Homo-oligomer: A and B are copies of this chain.
């Protein structure tokens, strides 16, 4: 990528990143969706992924804390509420805990993250710090993995229901909600990135931000695939 792109070309470039390195290409993802995991592996996946879920509101608050544009903050805040819940709405983190509970994992143990792998925590905090430290538009661009989420989520619902009879279907509500939330958020973020990143340097940063975020998600699966490090009690 060595010359300035039109917004359409930049969108194509960004979507190509997903086609190449979104975590649906990861071997462990294929095992999960192919019904090849045992219950312990699905537990490990859900437990580690909780670290990511629970960090998303901090990431979005970090983004808002750097945003001087009131309208953008107003347009972004529902992302925090989608995950944390608000008032009567339980939120995505709570729904994830229903999933892990349905898998037989103790709620306090999951929330404590004591069973999560170090690589998982490092990757997740790298994401929060990226949003804290890079430019605001790079932070927005790093959220664009949502562009690729709906397909994987739709597949996941079907795959988990068909392959893992010991998963409580109630526990999958998290994914059902994301089917409408992710496309709305991705469309908004994509518009901001295409509008806000016009110079070559900015466009390269947008691409790098999305690659970085794909790396975060990829490393989560790497960690779970490799399993506990020596000396760890799970």
The chain A residues found within 8 Å of chain B, CB to CB, are: 54, 57-59, 61-68, 70, 73-74, 77, 80-81, 84-86, 91, 93, 128, 132
Quote the shortest CB–CB distance from A102 to chain B (angstroms). Answer: 19
Cα–Cα, bound, A73→B85 (Å): 10
> Complex Cα distance A59/B61, Å?
10
11 contacts between A and B (CB under 8 A): A54-B68, A57-B64, A57-B70, A57-B73, A58-B66, A58-B67, A59-B65, A61-B62, A65-B65, A74-B85, A77-B81
Would B67 and A64 count as touching, CB distance under 8 A? Answer: no
Bound form: Cα–Cα A215–B200 in Å = 44
Chain B residue nearest in CB terms to A71: B84
Closest 6 CB pairs of A and B: A61-B64, A62-B65, A61-B65, A61-B61, A58-B65, A73-B84
